[in-house]
């Protein structure tokens, strides 16, 4: 176990990121809940990489293509999570201030997810029984 | 005079170890380019929603580019060279034909987007942003395809 401290700081990071997202929605001056659609992207983001970890490693050559496709899709989900608030703000569905708060929350949450994979994901035989 | 720049060398970038991570970096860069292209188009569709400002048929270019991306990246370079195990349905010739059609669709969409930009927006002197969006979508998808296809190595026994 890579440490309780890492776990706590990652969960703190996640809470701060979600806080920024909720601030962007719930502050009385904004009061538009459209950015909550980003939660969908936050949940989807780790999935391709997790699938490639489970499905891959059958043969050394084939697993790479799966991992690369997973990286491609994950990058796409991250870009989409940054693009959606910007498109919302340009369409004047939300205010630009709300967009800025939501983008900050995005950055923190994706840094948290990345940190989670770096800290907890890097053991060679990644088996679910560990948990 | 002919070779006076021969001894000029840019500082070597030693910080990044390209060897192990080349495929991952190529995949990430390709992903950023591809999805940025699509979001530029989504943004244009949202900010110019009427048929007059941006003809909805212009989305076709992006769709064909995306289809071409998946066609081109569905065949590995090994299959085109002919050094994989199974024959598959059509073998090496089929792989080459598939790749050929994929690249034709990709180039066709790119050319069409340039045509749309100039013929549909620059010449009639309309607000040019939707035309630029169509062009950038297809150009970014094109570069993303190239990077995803040729930026990754397939060294099987590395």
Tens digit of each residue's pLDDT (9 = 90 or more) over B14-68: 555 566 788 899 999 999 999 999 999 999 999 999 998 999 999 999 999 999 9
- Domain holding B58, by residue range, is 22-150
The answer as to whether B50 is a domain residue is: yes
**3-state SS assignment for residue B66:** helix
**3-state SS assignment for residue B124:** coil
Q: To the nearest 10°, the Cα dihedral for B33, B34, B39, B40?
A: 60
In this complex, is the C-beta atom of B153 within 8 Å of any C-beta atom belonging to chain A?
A: no
The answer as to whether A130 is a domain residue is: no
Give A78 to chain B, closest Cα distance, Å. Answer: 9
* Inter-chain residue contact B47 with A86, CB threshold 8 Å: no
The answer as to whether A118 is a domain residue is: yes
Give the separation between CA B152 and CA B31, rounded to whole angstroms. Answer: 13
- Please, which residues 5-24 of chain B have a Cβ atom closer than 8 Å to chain A? 23-24
- Residue in A71, A83, A86 closest to B24 by CB: A71
Q: What is the pLDDT of residue B94?
A: 85
Give A62 to chain B, closest Cα distance, Å. Answer: 9
**B91-115 helix and B129-150 helix, angle to the nearest 10 degrees:** 160
DSSP letter at B126 equals -
Residues on A contacting B at a C-beta cutoff of 8 Å = 60-61, 64-65, 67-69, 71-76, 79-80, 83, 86-87, 90-91
Mean pLDDT by 10 residues, chain A (131 residues): 85 96 94 94 93 74 79 96 96 94 96 90 54 45
Q: For tokens 């703190």, what's the residue?
A: A12
**Average pLDDT of span B95-116:** 95
Residues of B in contact with A65 (CB under 8 A): 76
The answer as to whether A131 is a domain residue is: no
Q: How far is CA A26 from CA A12, A23, A35, A43, A98, in A?
A: 20, 5, 10, 21, 9
The pTM of the full predicted model, rounded to 2 decimals, is 0.86
- Domain holding A93, by residue range, is 1-122
Nearest CA to A127 among A49, A43, A53?
A53
The answer as to whether A128 is a domain residue is: no
Q: For tokens 């440490």, what's the residue?
A: A3
Q: How far is CA A95 from CA A15, A27, A79, A88, B97, in A?
A: 23, 11, 20, 8, 50
Q: How far is CA B157 from CA A82, A96, A128, B27, B154, in A?
A: 38, 51, 29, 20, 9
The answer as to whether B71 is a domain residue is: yes
The answer as to whether B2 is a domain residue is: no
The answer as to whether A107 is a domain residue is: yes
**Average pLDDT of span B96-116:** 96
Q: What is the Cα A44 distance to its own chain's centre? A: 8
In this complex, is the C-beta atom of B50 within 8 Å of any C-beta atom belonging to chain A?
A: no
The answer as to whether B1 is a domain residue is: no
Tell me how many domains chain A contains.
1
The answer as to whether A127 is a domain residue is: no
The model's confidence at residue B13, banded by pLDDT at 50, 70 and 90, is: low
The answer as to whether A77 is a domain residue is: yes
- Residue in A64, A71, A90 closest to B28 by CB: A71
Rounded (5°) CA angle A87-B73-B17? 85
- Specify whether the CB–CB gap between A17 and A109 falls below 8 A: yes
- Residue in B26, B39, B157 closest to A79 by CB: B39
DSSP letter at A45 equals T
The answer as to whether B5 is a domain residue is: no
Q: What is the Cα B102 distance to its own chain's centre? A: 11
In this complex, is the C-beta atom of B30 within 8 Å of any C-beta atom belonging to chain A?
A: yes
Q: What is the pLDDT of residue B155?
A: 67
Give the separation between CA A68 and CA A64, rounded to whole angstroms. Answer: 6
In this complex, is the C-beta atom of B27 within 8 Å of any C-beta atom belonging to chain A?
A: yes
Q: What is the DSSP string of A52-64?
A: HHHH--SSHHHHH
The answer as to whether B47 is a domain residue is: yes
Q: How many C-beta atoms surround the C-beta of residue A3 within 10 A?
A: 10
* Inter-chain residue contact B39 with A83, CB threshold 8 Å: yes
The answer as to whether A18 is a domain residue is: yes
* Inter-chain residue contact A64 with B23, CB threshold 8 Å: yes
Give the separation between CA B33 and CA A3, rounded to whole angstroms. Answer: 36
Residue of A nearest to B75 (CA): A65
Give the separation between CA A44 and CA A55, rounded to whole angstroms. Answer: 17
């Amino acid at each position: 176990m890579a440490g309780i401290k890492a776990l706590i700081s990652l969960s703190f990071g996640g809470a701060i990121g979600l806080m920024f997202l909720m601030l962007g929605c719930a502050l009385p001056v904004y009061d538009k809940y459209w950015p909550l659609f980003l939660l969908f992207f936050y949940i989807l983001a780790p999935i391709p990489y997790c699938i490639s970890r489970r499905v891959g490693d059958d043969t050394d050559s084939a697993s790479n293509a799966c991992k690369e496709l997973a990286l491609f899709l994950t990058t796409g989900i991250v870009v989409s999570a940054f693009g959606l608030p910007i498109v919302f703000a340009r369409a004047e569905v939300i205010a630009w201030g709300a967009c800025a708060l939501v983008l900050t929350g995005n950055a923190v949450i994706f840094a948290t997810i990345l940190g989670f994979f770096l800290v907890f994901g890097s053991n060679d035989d990644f088996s679910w029984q560990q948990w | 005079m002919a070779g006076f720049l021969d001894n000029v060398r840019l500082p070597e970038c030693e910080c990044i170890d390209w060897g192990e991570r080349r495929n991952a970096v190529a995949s990430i860069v390709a992903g950023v380019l591809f999805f940025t292209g699509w979001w530029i188009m989504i943004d244009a569709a949202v900010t110019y929603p009427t048929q007059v400002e941006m003809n909805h048929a212009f989305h076709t270019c992006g769709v064909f580019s995306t289809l071409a991306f998946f066609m081109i990246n569905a065949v590995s370079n090994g299959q085109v060279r002919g050094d994989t195990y199974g024959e598959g349905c059509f073998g090496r010739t089929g792989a080459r034909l598939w790749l050929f059609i994929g690249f034709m669709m990709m180039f066709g969409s790119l050319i069409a987007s340039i045509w749309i930009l100039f013929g549909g927006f620059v010449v009639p002197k309309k607000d040019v942003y939707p035309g630029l969006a169509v062009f950038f979508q297809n150009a970014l998808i094109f570069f993303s395809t190239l990077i995803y296809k040729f930026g990754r190595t397939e060294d099987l026994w590395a």
